[in-house]
Amino acid sequence: MILQALTKYYESLAEQGKVDREGWCKAKVSYGINLSKDGKILGIISLKQEEKRGKKTVWVPQQIKVPEMVTRSSGVAANFLCDNSKYILGIDADGTNQRILNCFEAAKEKHLSLLSETKGDMAQAVRSFFENWDPSKASECDEIREKWEDITDGGNLIFCMGMNYAQDDPFIQEAWERARSTSSEEGQTGTCLVTGQKAEISRIHKTIKGVPGAQSSGAALVSFNAPAFESYGKEQSYNAPVGKYAEFAYTTALNYLLNQREYTFQLGDSMIVFWAESAEEAYQAAFFESVDPKPDNQEEIRGIFENLKKDRPVQIGDIILNSEQRFYILSLAPNAARLSVRFFYQDSFGNMLKNLSAHYERMEMVKPSWEDREYLGVRDMLSETVNQNSKDKTPVPNMAAFVLQAILSGTRYPASLYTDVLIRIRAEQGKVTWGRAAIIKAYLIQNDNWKEGVNYMGLNEESRETAYVLGRLFSVLESIQMEANPGIKATIRDRYFNSACATPASIFPVLVKLKNSHMKKLERDKGSAKVYYEKLLTELMGKLDEYPRRLSLEEQGKFILGYYHQVQKKYEKKEEK
What pLDDT, in 10s, does the model give residues 410-460? 999 999 999 999 999 999 999 999 999 999 999 999 999 998 888 899 999
Confidence category of residue 577, pLDDT binned at 50, 70, 90: very low
Total H helices, total E strands in the chain: 20, 16
Could you give the dihedral angle defined by the CA atoms of residues 541, 544, 546 and 552, in that order, rounded to the nearest 10 degrees?
-120
Nearest alpha-carbon partner for 422 in 561, 556, 566: 556
pLDDT at 184: 53
CB burial readout 523-540, b (16+ within 10 A) else e: eeeeeebbebbeebbeeb
**Does the pLDDT at position 576 exceed 60?**
no
Cα Rg of the chain, angstroms: 32
Q: What is the mean pLDDT of residues 349-368?
A: 93
Q: What percent of the chain has pLDDT over 90?
A: 57
The CB-side HSE value for 284 (13 A sphere, CA atoms) comes to 20
Q: What is the mean pLDDT of residues 278-303?
A: 88
pLDDT at 527: 63
pLDDT at 187: 60
pLDDT at 151: 93
**Does the pLDDT at position 185 exceed 70?**
no
Confidence category of residue 227, pLDDT binned at 50, 70, 90: confident
pLDDT at 494: 92
What pLDDT, in 10s, does the model give residues 37-72? 999 999 999 999 988 877 788 899 998 999 988 877
- How far, in Å, CA of 25 to CA of 240, rounded? 24
pLDDT at 525: 62
What pLDDT, in 10s, does the model give residues 7-32? 999 999 988 988 888 888 888 999 99
Residues recorded for the chain: 577
Mean pLDDT of all residues belonging to the chain: 89
Question: What is the full DSSP assignment across 534-571?
Answer: HHHHHHHHTT-S---S---HHHHHHHHHHHHHHHHHHH
Q: Are 339 and 254 in contact (CB under 8 A)?
A: no
Confidence category of residue 200, pLDDT binned at 50, 70, 90: confident
**Does the pLDDT at position 233 exceed 50?**
yes
Q: What is the mean pLDDT of residues 308-324?
A: 82
**Between 398 and 88, residue with greater pLDDT:** 88
The CB-side HSE value for 118 (13 A sphere, CA atoms) comes to 28
Lowest mean pLDDT among 84-98, 237-251, 550-564: 237-251
DSSP assignment letter at 138: G
pLDDT at 495: 92
- How far, in Å, CA of 11 to CA of 279, rounded? 9
Name the H helices within 46-185: 85-88, 98-114, 121-132, 142-146, 148-151, 170-182
**Does the pLDDT at position 397 exceed 80?**
no
Lowest mean pLDDT among 2-11, 303-312, 401-410, 449-458: 303-312
Q: How many beta carbons lie within 10 A of that of residue 227, not counting itself?
A: 8
Confidence category of residue 186, pLDDT binned at 50, 70, 90: low
Confidence category of residue 399, pLDDT binned at 50, 70, 90: confident
Q: Which helix (H) or strand (E) holds 214?
A: none
Q: What percent of the chain has pLDDT over 70?
A: 97
**Does the pLDDT at position 165 exceed 90?**
yes
Question: What is the full DSSP assignment across 232-281?
Answer: GG--TTTTS--BHHHHHHHHHHHHHHHH-GGGEEEETTEEEEEEETT--H
Q: What is the mean pLDDT of residues 136-147?
A: 92
What pLDDT, in 10s, does the model give residues 535-559? 999 999 999 989 999 999 999 999 9
Q: What is the mean pLDDT of residues 471-479?
A: 95
Confidence category of residue 388, pLDDT binned at 50, 70, 90: confident
Q: Which residues contact 326 (CB under 8 A, 6 or more apart)?
A: 276, 277, 346, 347, 348, 349
Lowest mean pLDDT among 98-112, 204-218, 442-456, 515-529: 515-529
